[in-house]
């Protein structure tokens, strides 16, 4: 047993653990050096951020140590692995990349107060043409000598503590003993690689996406604090995966604001115009417009029924839109678009290097009016980056699988305790019941949002319902029908709650999925999702057919309905209480930008119009009329789209995604 502590695997594990300790100590040093960056951070919250930082440190350390780990784990002949030259090579493979990582991580302690974030690859692009960069660095080393000294000390200690050699048991001569050696070392290598992959990803499972910069927000109260949770090597490596946004400079600053301004000024309203209704936002997983009969009475020669009988009846009592669109094609695009009026352009916001920007949301704006807030999602906490974004956007509470299971343990109905679908999340029926009932425990007025999950891949329904919902022609159709049933049960329960009669409900989908009809498979149809507003006090519904709306219009519409009278930020406009000034919807269909009116689809490649379709006359988008359409007909749309893109990139890169 004594020899096991000198085995290559245990020596490598010990060195990785030592690196983790170094990164945590560096984080504490950063906190002590920059107290002005983290005002009001108590020890409890500091410990939360230190613990959260471990996830990012592990990913960075495993990346930087990858060659070292491979060399240490390869089941090579014993005489090679124990040779002095081989061991010396392994130590250098450990020392060089990790010393660079520790130096960068320490040096960033000085730069962070100026950038409000960890350094990413954009830093090097910004200063790539500066001829005096060496002079600047030299001056910084001397001015912040205590940081330089700390960096040298931790690197020196790390090298000194990792100079020990490893050894294997004495070579065995028998064939059986040699075979056992190779089998044992191979099994250790395979098991280690499995653990390393989990560490690099930041978790394991179908619902776990590789860890990104935005996941740091899960452990912070403000976006600025994410600089303490992250480390510089991780930030650099993750930003390598994305390109820095370049301001296209279509317009001067004055012209830009004239064409499009995402900062909405405060409107002066009488007290009688203000409302304190609750706000409930339902983001329905994969609920394409195609699945909803209410919007498709003309499909299949008028015989199409769809898969959402309850939603059809609810939409008939709601304000909804004939031409409504998602801003993106993924679930992670929806939260910023729906709740913060920040669209997906180029790439999902929460995986960009700018994901730690300060943002606002319905929760953050309405908190100023005394609203409490909560975000609900039935998947394991932290999945999809939803928990991190909800916290950064100002939601006071997050209710995920963990919170649901605590609640379910106290329920008499066993169905609530056995509601995990085994793959992805809590079944929608049970989770939406939890949502409806726990809102009754919140102080009013409140704003909440829920992201459903059961209509997500792998497209199953609870066993007790198998065969009861229409199978349709796609695997998703039965789960859509099941989720529609879960939505029906949610409203049945909600109607019995004291908050129901004075609540504005917002319904939309995150994105489309598995189209069947040809008109839903093209560049327009792939973005068609429902957007609807429902209030129990309204006498009748309305299907509006003028102009186009998108998910980014939800925040402005809700604030306008409530009579909100402070400035706010959003790429959308009020589409509920009045007609939009710019009746367009914008989405990014890589590699082109798209802008839609209530009749035209214009595609822009960043430099010029790529294609134009009159989708009312040509719903399948077979005829590109860019060369024949009068320029003045699309000029307002192109001008608005160019300003929209420029505002997005400029404000993203300069951290100006709030109004105040």
Burial of 544 (C-beta count, 10 Å sphere; 0-12/13-18/19+): middle
Full 3-state SS string of 500-568: HHHEEEEEEECCCCCCCCHHHCCCCHHHECCEEEECCCCCCCEEECCCCEEHHHHHHHHHHHCCCCCCE
Alpha helices (H) in 537-627, listed in sequence order: 554-561
Instruction: Report residue 1's pLDDT band, with 50, 70 and 90 as the boundaries.
Output: very low
Residue-wise pLDDT tens digits, 542-601 = 999 999 999 999 999 999 999 998 999 999 999 999 899 999 999 988 778 999 999 999
Q: What is the DSSP letter of 336?
A: H
Least confident of 269-278, 393-402, 448-457: 269-278
Are 325 and 587 spatial neighbours (Cβ–Cβ below 8 Å)? Answer: yes
Are 450 and 432 spatial neighbours (Cβ–Cβ below 8 Å)? Answer: yes
Q: Looking at the chain, how many residues does it have?
A: 660
What count of other Cβ atoms lies within 10 Å of the Cβ of residue 126? 11
Mean per-residue pLDDT, 386-392: 88
Are 612 and 629 spatial neighbours (Cβ–Cβ below 8 Å)? Answer: yes
Mean per-residue pLDDT, 444-472: 93
Alpha helices (H) in 162-248, listed in sequence order: 175-201, 226-229, 232-240
Are 657 and 359 spatial neighbours (Cβ–Cβ below 8 Å)? Answer: yes
Residue-wise pLDDT tens digits, 288-336 = 999 999 999 999 999 999 999 999 999 999 999 999 999 988 888 899 9
pLDDT of residue 204: 62
Q: Which of 532, 104, 111, 502 is nearest to 284 (CA)?
A: 532
How high is the mean pLDDT of the chain?
88
Please state the domain extents for the chain: 2-240, 271-653
Residue-wise pLDDT tens digits, 31-68 = 999 887 788 788 899 999 999 999 999 999 999 999 99
Does residue 270 surpass a pLDDT of 80?
A: no
How far, rounded to the nearest angstrom, does the alpha carbon of residue 266 sit from its chain's CA centroid?
Answer: 29
Domain 271-653 top-level CATH class: alpha beta
Does residue 170 surpass a pLDDT of 60?
A: no
Mean per-residue pLDDT, 498-516: 95
pLDDT of residue 205: 58
pLDDT of residue 125: 55
Residue-wise pLDDT tens digits, 23-40 = 999 999 999 998 877 887
pLDDT of residue 134: 62
Which residues in 426-450 are b (16+ Cβ under 10 Å) and which e? bbbbbbbbbbbebbeebebbbbbbb
Does 354 or 496 have the greater pLDDT score?
496
Percent of the chain exceeding pLDDT 90 equals: 60
pLDDT of residue 201: 79
User: Roughly how many angstroms between the first and final C-alpha of the chain, as a whole number?
Assistant: 63
Does 88 or 202 have the greater pLDDT score?
88
pLDDT of residue 54: 92
Instruction: Report residue 168's pLDDT band, with 50, 70 and 90 as the boundaries.
Output: low
Instruction: Report residue 2's pLDDT band, with 50, 70 and 90 as the boundaries.
Output: very low
Least confident of 85-94, 170-179, 245-254, 392-401: 170-179
pTM comes to: 0.80
Residue-wise pLDDT tens digits, 214-248 = 788 788 876 678 889 999 999 888 877 666 678 88
Backbone angles phi, psi at 375, to 5 degrees: -120, 135
Are 352 and 577 spatial neighbours (Cβ–Cβ below 8 Å)? Answer: no
Instruction: Report residue 114's pLDDT band, with 50, 70 and 90 as the boundaries.
Output: low
């Amino acid at each position: 047993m004594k020899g096991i502590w000198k085995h290559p695997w245990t020596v490598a594990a010990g060195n990785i653990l030592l690196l983790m300790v170094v990164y945590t100590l560096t984080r504490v040093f950063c906190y002590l050096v920059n107290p002005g960056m983290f005002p009001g951070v108590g020890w409890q919250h500091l410990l939360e951020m230190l613990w959260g930082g471990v996830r990012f440190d592990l990913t960075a350390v495993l990346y930087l140590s990858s060659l070292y780990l491979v060399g240490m784990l390869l089941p090579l002949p014993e005489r090679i692995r124990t040779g002095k030259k081989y061991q010396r090579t392994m130590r250098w493979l450990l020392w060089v990349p990790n010393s660079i990582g520790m130096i960068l991580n320490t040096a960033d302690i000085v730069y962070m107060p100026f950038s409000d974030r960890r350094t990413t690859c954009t830093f090097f692009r910004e200063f790539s043409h500066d001829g005096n960069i060496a002079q600047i660095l030299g001056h910084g080393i001397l001015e912040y000598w205590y940081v330089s000294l700390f960096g040298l000390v931790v690197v020196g200690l790390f090298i000194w503590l990792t100079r020990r050699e490893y050894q294997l048991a004495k070579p065995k001569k028998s064939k059986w003993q040699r075979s056992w050696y190779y089998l044992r070392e191979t099994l250790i290598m395979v098991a280690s690689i499995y653990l390393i992959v989990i560490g690099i990803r930041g978790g394991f499972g179908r619902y776990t996406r590789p860890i990104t910069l935005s996941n740091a927000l899960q452990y912070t109260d403000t976006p600025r604090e994410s600089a303490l949770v992250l480390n510089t090597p991780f930030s650099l490596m993750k930003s390598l995966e994305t390109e820095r946004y370049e301001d296209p400079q279509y317009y001067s600053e004055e012209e830009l604001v004239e064409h499009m301004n995402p900062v909405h000024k405060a409107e002066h309203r009488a007290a009688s115009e203000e409302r304190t209704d609750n706000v409930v936002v339902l983001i329905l997983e994969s609920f394409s417009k195609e699945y909803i009969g209410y919007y498709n009475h003309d499909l299949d020669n008028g015989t199409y029924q769809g898969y959402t009988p309850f939603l059809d009846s609810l939409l008939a009592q709601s304000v909804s839109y004939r031409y409504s669109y998602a801003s993106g094609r993924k679930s992670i695009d929806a939260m910023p678009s729906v709740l913060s009026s920040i669209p997906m352009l180029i790439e999902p916001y929460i995986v960009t290097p700018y994901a730690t920007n300060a943002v606002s949301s319905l929760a953050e704006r309405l908190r100023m009016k005394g609203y409490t807030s909560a975000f609900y999602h039935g998947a394991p906490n932290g999945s999809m980056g939803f928990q991190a974004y909800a916290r950064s956007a100002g939601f006071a509470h997050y209710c995920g699988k963990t919170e649901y299971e605590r609640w379910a343990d106290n329920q008499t109905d066993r169905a609530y305790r056995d509601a995990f679908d085994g793959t992805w999340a809590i079944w929608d029926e049970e989770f939406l019941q939890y949502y409806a009932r726990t809102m009754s425990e919140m102080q009013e007025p409140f704003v909440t949002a829920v992201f459903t999950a059961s209509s997500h891949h792998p497209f199953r329904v609870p066993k007790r319902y198998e065969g009861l919902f229409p199978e349709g022609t796609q695997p998703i159709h039965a789960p859509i029908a099941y989720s529609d049933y879960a939505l029906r049960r949610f409203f049945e329960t909600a109607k019995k709650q004291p908050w129901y009669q004075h609540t504005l409900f917002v319904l939309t989908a995150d994105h489309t999925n598995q189209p069947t009809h040809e008109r839903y498979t093209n560049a327009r149809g792939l973005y068609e999702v429902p957007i609807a507003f429902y209030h129990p006090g309204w006498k009748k519904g309305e299907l509006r057919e003028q102009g186009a709306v998108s998910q980014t219009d939800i925040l402005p519409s809700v604030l306008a309905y409530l009579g909100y009278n402070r400035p706010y930020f959003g790429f959308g406009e009020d589409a509920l209480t009045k007609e939009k000034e710019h009746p367009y919807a914008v989405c990014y269909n890589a590699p082109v930008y798209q802008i839609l009116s209530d009749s035209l689809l214009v595609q822009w490649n960043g430099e010029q119009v790529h294609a134009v379709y009159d989708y009312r006359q040509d719903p399948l988008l077979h005829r590109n009329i860019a060369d024949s359409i009068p320029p003045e007909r699309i000029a307002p749309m192109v001008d608005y789209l160019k300003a929209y893109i420029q505002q997005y990139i400029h404000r993203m890169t300069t951290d100006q995604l709030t109004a105040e």
